[in-house]
Amino acid sequence: MKRESTDDISLTVAASTFAALGSEQRLSVLRVLVRAGEEGLSIGELGNRTGVTGSTLTHHMKILAQAGLVTQQKQGRSIICAAVAYDEIRALSAFLLKECCADCASPNKDHDHG
């Protein structure tokens, strides 16, 4: 019988979010936005920092936004992009590490996950 805590993200949600991150360019975009913090970056600056521009950047931002990982807001004549899903990113990490070493034969299962 499979048991899941209500605090855990579901396998479906995890798979969907990982799918949104399943591109080197999208992962790069998200990492740059995480580094920028809550203030985010203009779409132009995001493109400069990632090397992803134009319709390609627009496409990747749309996928990341649909996954709930980023937002885009118009400020004057600029579009500001920001990472917003810090808790979701932490939940993905916890999802991967939750049962780390559960099947190890070694009695010492305390491993450093940095």
Question: Which pLDDT value is given to residue 108?
Answer: 56
pLDDT digits (tens, 9 = 90+) for 38-59: 899 999 999 999 999 999 999 9
Confidence (pTM): 0.75
Tokens linked to 21: 């991150």
**Three-state DSSP class for residue 85:** coil
- What is the pLDDT averaged over residues 71-83? 93
CA 106 to chain centroid, in Å, comes to 33
List of domains in the chain: 11-97 (1.10.10.10)
Sole residue written with tokens 């992962």 = 27
pLDDT digits (tens, 9 = 90+) for 1-17: 344 443 567 888 888 88
Tokens linked to 22: 């399943």
Q: Are strands 41-42 and 78-83 parallel, antiparallel or unpaired?
A: antiparallel
